[in-house]
């Protein structure tokens, strides 16, 4: 297991975000990496932090726009899931209404 300082790990994480966004052209992956804490990032990459007890003081605070976009994404996802639940409920209701053979 490789050991890195928080600063070294932060640079690697930033590089991973740039790679995902610019080379792989995968904004979703880049956002996922970007939103991970350093501790989570280290765990996923099997890296031991040399100074893990130091609290993260400079955690990025999402902007109002980012929060609004995330709310919109969650609302859309919620609507899609609710629609799927409604479809399932309709199928169950149809099955309950159908008479069984031999009745």
Strands (E) located in 23-63:
47-49
Note whether 2 and 50 are same-domain residues: yes
pTM, to two decimals: 0.48
> What is the rounded CA–CA span in Å between residue 54 and residue 10?
14
Do 82 and 98 lie in one domain? The reply is yes
- Packing angle of the helix pair 6-18, 27-35 (nearest 10 deg): 160
- What phi and psi, each to the nearest 5 degrees, are found at residue 49? -80, 135
62 pLDDT more than 60: yes
Give me the chain's average pLDDT, please: 86
3 and 35 assigned to the same domain: yes
Question: 41 and 33 in contact (C-beta within 8 Å)?
Answer: yes
**Residue 86 sits in the same domain as residue 40:** no
Instruction: Report d(CA 4, CA 14) in Å as an integer.
Output: 14
Structural domains counted in the chain: 2
What is the domain range of residue 9? Answer: 1-60
Q: What percent of the chain has pLDDT over 90?
A: 52
Q: Are residues 66 and 78 in the same domain?
A: yes
């Amino acid at each position: 297991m490789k050991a890195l300082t928080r600063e070294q790990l932060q640079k690697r994480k930033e590089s991973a975000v740039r790679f995902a966004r610019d080379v792989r052209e995968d904004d979703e992956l880049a956002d996922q990496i970007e939103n991970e804490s350093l501790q989570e990032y280290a765990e996923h990459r099997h890296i031991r932090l040399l100074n893990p007890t130091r609290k993260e003081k400079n955690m990025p605070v999402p902007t109002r726009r980012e929060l609004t976009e995330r709310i919109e994404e969650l609302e859309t996802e919620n609507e899609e899931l609710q629609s799927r639940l409604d479809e399932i409920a309709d199928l169950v209701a149809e099955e309950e209404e159908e008479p069984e053979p031999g009745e």
